[in-house]
Structure 1
Amino acid sequence: MASYQKYTTKQGQLWLFKMDTGINPETGKRQTTTRRGFNTKKEAQAAAAKLEQEIANGLLINNNNITYEDVFEQWFATHSKTIKASTKKTIESKFKRHIIPRFGKLKVKDISKAYCQKMINEIADSIASVNDIKIQANQVFKYAVKMDIISKNPMEHVTIPKQPQELLNEENEFEERNYWTKEEVKKFLSITKNEISLRDHVLFHLLIYTGARKGELLALTWEDIDFEAGSIRLWRTLFQADGKHIFQTPKTRDSKRLISLDRKTLALLKKWRISQTEEDFANGKLNGGNNLVFTRGDGTPLRLAYLNEKLNIVTKKHSLHPITIHGLRHTHASLLFEAGASIKEVQERLGHADIQMTMNIYTHVTNTLKEQTASKFEKYIEL
């Protein structure tokens, strides 16, 4: 039988109830629970009735010794069945490297807001993607609240510290830019045309001229390219896990897209197709039977890290401004803006589900575009 009591808080008067929940199997002693925060006695009575029913049905568990890792395993057992293999691997990695070592062995009921803030501050000192870590850690706390293991989420109001790069002045930000100017693009493609394989040159050309993700290009088949219409269909991506190659659909509907190709790119693709066909026949095979546009010599898909490694080799050898593979996608967007494309056009071409992602690129557009803006103003005012 539950007992009810009114108590006073800064927000006004609330109700609580206390109830005997039976014998604790670990101590052999009777135990009670107290539930607070009800606006009326009627609400408290309804919650008490629900709890009594759970006890009667044998659903009540002793939450006192449940650790964060216990809750994570419960949550992930269900959540992992609703996400793609690539997402599952990423989430598992974040928990294994950053979250479980800090929270795993702690009793979830004992984890405080202050401790959560301290841990997020420490993580922020070592990695830039601290917000992603907070989001994942928070999922477990939300699940614990949902399952009545804890009453409040200690991670809910934790603040993400600003990263050092967010506080850099404009000059330093320019030095850290992750894109190339038009002149740098021309120089890079001239180098790759003369110094690396045709396959790799075509890959880099496509990354720059289409803004596609590397996983999208490595999943392309020749059926995805329409030479007559001058278009390319991006509808799946290559993912690698445990030494296996997995072709999967993108996370969002917007990532599936049909984009136009310029004549130069089409000509380069035709050249590569002829070269690949000749090479396959010479080796007595037909592209490993998968009809992929880009493969290794034995017809199997390329490693995802291969392009990153190749890009680093070329940029270091020729002292080019260092950027990442994702920076080539950023480069494509920046040059589109310089050419006069609208934000909506760039969003659709890059397959951004959220226009804010496109806007973020727009705010970091190259100095050339900024100079053009000043020039446009000068020409207009002098008319």
Structure 2
Amino acid sequence: MPKKSNSAIKAYKKKDGKTYYMFKVYLGSDSMTGKPQYTTRRGFRSVKEAEIALARIQLEIANGKYQKRTYETYRELYEAWFKSYKSTVEESTLNKTTKYFEHHILPAIGDYRIEQLNVDICQRFVNKLHEKLVKARTVKAYASKVLDYAVIRNLINTNPFKLVEMPKKRAPKKSVNRVERNFYTKEELNKLLSLMKEETNRKAYVAIHVLAFTGMRKGELLALTWEDIDFEKKEMTINKAIARGLENTMYEKSTKTGVSRTISLDNETINLLQEWQIDLKNSLGRRFKKKKQLVLPNEDNSYLQPTKTRKWLNYVIEKYKLPPLTTHGLRHTHTSMLIEAGANMKQVQMRLGHSDIKTTMDIYTHLTAHAEKETVNLFADFLKS
């Protein structure tokens, strides 16, 4: 004879068309009001799963150990955590965090009940992340923060993500010894700038030239105003940057390290910026601001989208079949040339605005490793010629 199903457990369907199970259980009367209290649990994938959860709650009630939970699912817990978290970080960081949860975490584990999340479920989630995402470790860390929040509030005893192991990194398709090249030689940079100068997009040329000759970050360049440039002293003060906030809005923030720096400018860059200022005044007319006028505004005299520099760079690189280079690669190029010209590590650190010299040294190691690799190739090619 088949076992009779528990009448407290009800089936229902979600928007995805799948059948899930739920139950409502009596907790007793409220000591203050005398009104009956209930708790509802839903999202169970089988009757058996719901029966086990119901039996556990009924046992806790009988032993006087049951505590009514405010949050049932991971998604509900995340929403509570997010309210606290959003006041602790910058808007650009909040924007990235939101995307991690919306695109990767919540679709995978958002509908799981808090007590249902165990090491096996969390491990499978991380394994799948690792297969498709470069930043799997970062996403896992954010997913774990929500359960840390639950532990602190005594909603669960332990965080299962703490026992999850990150899969080993997959071997790259290219040779392990190869160092990816994201900087130009002196000859390549001169060719790039020469070709961009011949193109009709003057703003693009100014942007790429300034990035290459100052080593400043893209966000710092797009936030640069004419007040930051002292033509007489031939100096530029870098004290802010732009970032992408919630709903893709652009806003001004401090530099990456939170510290401003003043760097010297060469004559060529000074002359170029003076010429560009005249062109900009002529094109903007009355819209040219006396204060806080951006050096590189968009058509509405507001912040340029950060993707612009990449598009400008890629257009010329693809058109003239130049070696690949990212916008950040111009910063590496500047670093490489400073070192080649004889600048010491401290000078490079100060000019680039690194918070500590270790960052500068790491970049230097990366660049010199590739340079050493190319030297060997040059020697081999010479012998064959």
**In the alignment, does 2:193 pair up with 1:189?**
yes
Displacement of 1:217: 0.7
Q: Which residue of 2 aligns with 1:249?
A: 254
Aligned position for 2:341: 339
How far, CA to CA, are the matches of 1:267 and 1:182 in structure 2? 21
Q: Is the 8 A contact 1:111 1:154 kept in 2?
A: yes
Residues in 2 aligned to 1:215 and 1:33: alpha-carbon distance in whole angstroms: 60
Q: Distance in 2 between matches of 1:358 and 1:33?
A: 63
Structure 1 residues 266-281: aligned runs within 5 Å: 266-281=270-285
Q: Distance in 2 between the 1:155 and 1:275 partners? A: 56
Unpaired runs of 5+ residues, structure 1, are: 1-21, 35-50, 375-383
1:191–1:362 CA distance, 2 compared to 1 (3 A): same
| Letter in structure 2 aligned against 1:180 | Y
Change (3 A) 1:96 1:277: same
Which residue does 2:68 correspond to in 1?
Answer: 61
How has the CA–CA distance of structure 1 residues 143 and 217 changed in structure 2, closer, same or farther, with 3 Å as cutoff? same
Aligned with residue 94 of structure 1, among 100, 105, 121: 100
TM-score (norm 1): 0.75
Alignment match, 1:206: 210
Q: Which residue of 2 aligns with 1:31?
A: 60
**Is contact 2:227–2:291 with CA below 8 Å preserved after alignment?**
no
1:106 is aligned to 112
The answer as to whether partners of 2:226 and 2:292 remain within 8 angstroms in 1 is no
CA shift in 2, pair 1:216/1:150, >3 Å: same
Secondary structure of 2:252's counterpart equals strand
TM-score, length-normalised on structure 2?
A: 0.74
Partner residue of 1:72? 78
What is the CA-CA distance between 1:97 and the residue it aligns to? 0.6
1:265 maps to 2:236: no
The one-letter amino acid of 1:257's match is R
Give the SS at the match of 2:307: helix
1:158 deviation in Å?
3.1
Distance 1:33 1:213, change over 3 A: farther
Q: Residues 289 and 253 from structure 1, CA distance in 2 versus in 1: closer, same or farther, beyond 3 angstroms?
A: closer
How far apart in 2 are the matches of 1:121 and 1:314?
A: 40
Residue 321 of structure 1 is aligned with which of 320, 323, 326?
A: 323
- Give the number of aligned pairs: 325
Residue aligning to 1:362: 364
Superposition deviation, residue 233 in structure 1: 1.4
Q: Which residue of 2 aligns with 1:44?
A: none
Indicate the residue corresponding to 1:226 in structure 2. Answer: 230
1:113-150: CA deviations, max 9, x gaps?
A: 23323322221221212222122112112111111111
Q: Which residue of 1 aligns with 2:12?
A: none
TM-superposed deviation, 1:290: 4.4
> What is the CA deviation profile of residues 236-258 of structure 1, one whole-angstrom value per residue up to 9, with x for unaligned ones?
1123443643222235324x322
> Partner of 1:232: helix, strand, or coil?
strand
What residue is the counterpart of 1:7 in the other structure?
A: none
Deviation at 1:304, TM superposition (A): 1.6
- More displaced stretch, 293-302 vs 364-373: 364-373
The aligned residue for residue 119 of structure 1 is 125
Superposed CA offset, 1:124-181 (max 9, x none): 221212222122112112111111111112112433335446684356x34x422222
Work out whether 1:154 is the aligned partner of 2:160: yes
1:137 aligns with 2:137: no
Q: Which runs of 5+ in 2 are unaligned?
A: 1-26, 29-36, 40-53, 377-385
Decide which moves more: 210-219 or 152-161.
152-161
Cα deviation for residue 33 of structure 1 reads: 10
CA distance 1:315–1:340, change in 2 (3 Å): same
Q: Structure 1, residues 254-285: CA drift from partner, whole Å, max 9, x if none? A: 4x32222222222221221122223334xx43
- Tell me if the contact between 2:181 and 2:370 (Cα under 8 Å) persists in the aligned partners: no
Question: Separation in 2 of the partners of 1:169 and 1:285?
Answer: 53
User: Which residue pairs with 2:332 in the alignment?
Assistant: 330
Over residues 23-52 of structure 1, what are the superposed CA-to-partner deviations in whole Å (9 max), with x where a residue is unaligned?
Answer: 583279562599xxxxxxxxxxxxxxxx99
| Deviation, structure 1 residue 320 | 1.1
Q: Deviations over 1:202-245 (max 9, x none)?
A: 11011112221211111111111122222211111123443643
Q: Considering only aligned residues, what root-mean-square deviation do their CA atoms show, in Å?
A: 3.1
CA distance, structure 1, for counterparts of residue 374 and residue 320 of structure 2: 29
- The letter of the residue matching 2:312 is K
Give SS of 1:259's match. strand
Partner of 1:18: none
- Contact conserved, 1:288 with 1:298, CA < 8 A, in 2? no
The separation in 2 between residues aligned to 1:93 and 1:358, in whole angstroms, is 30
Q: Which residue identity does 1:305 align to in structure 2?
A: T
CA positional deviation for 1:90: 1.0
* Residues 1:302 and 2:331 aligned together: no
Q: Partners in 2 of 1:80 and 1:260 — Cα distance?
A: 38
In 2, the alpha carbon distance for the partners of 1:323 and 1:286 equals 33
Q: Is the alpha carbon distance of 1:239 and 1:359 closer, same or farther for their aligned partners in structure 2, counting shifts above 3 Å?
A: same
